[in-house]
A = this chain, B = another copy of it.
């Protein structure tokens, strides 16, 4: 059996990504796996596919707004999104790649997701991201510098390009040994794939 990390692709605007971010680590750990946290820019993918954000889709948008909150409650996650939504996920995503070097991508992800979608905070600006991360125990001035690091910027670009080339059209998108699962409602399949290697 493989021990490859579970790849977890998500956009910081995605309520379903937020819910899944609260679950993925425990699911992976249960099967001896780690999580490879891969924030990406879903907006860049939508430019390729022509998709529009869920809330703007006729009929489905109304359902989605209702279901975001309902899904969060179902999974015991606090949901309180910001008024300015969608927001730029660039700074938050870069912060995750900066934290990844120290193996803290998961902690950074949850700190920023919780602030944005759990406490309606702005995470669009680098300053906001630094303040939230500092409060969560990260070194704020190191992060402020890290957000300008060309290697960090490049990593977000590379993973977003990777998402496009691997046809990762939504968030969250979880990949177990090459098998992709889209959506926070697919943990039953993710678990069975981890257990059995496929069906």
Contacts and interface: CB of A to CB of B under 8 A. Distances in A.
Interface of A: 45, 48-51, 57-60, 62-63, 67, 70, 73-74, 167-170, 180, 182-183, 185-186, 188-189, 192, 199
Given A183-B185, A192-B74, A167 B59 contact: yes
Please name the 6 residue pairs, one residue from A and one from B, whose CB atoms are nearest each other, closest first. A59-B169, A59-B167, A49-B58, A185-B185, A60-B169, A49-B59
Given A49-B58, A49-B59, A169-B59, A186 B185 contact: yes
A199 B189 CA distance: 24
A158 to B, nearest CB: 19
Contacts of A186: 185
A74 B189 contact: yes
Contact of A50 (B58, B62, B74, B180): B58
Nearest to A66: B180
B49 A182 contact: no
5 contacts: A59-B167, A63-B182, A67-B182, A70-B189, A74-B188
A49 B58 CA distance: 5
Contacts of A183: 185
B60 A199 contact: no
A63 B180 contact: yes
Contact of A49 (B45, B57, B192): B57
Given A49-B57, A185-B186, A169 B63 contact: yes
Given A74-B192, A185-B186, A189-B74, A58 B48 contact: yes
A136 to B, nearest CB: 29
Contact of A167 (B62, B167, B182): B62
Contacts of A73: 199
A182 B185 CA distance: 11
A111 B102 CA distance: 57
Contacts of A70: 189, 199
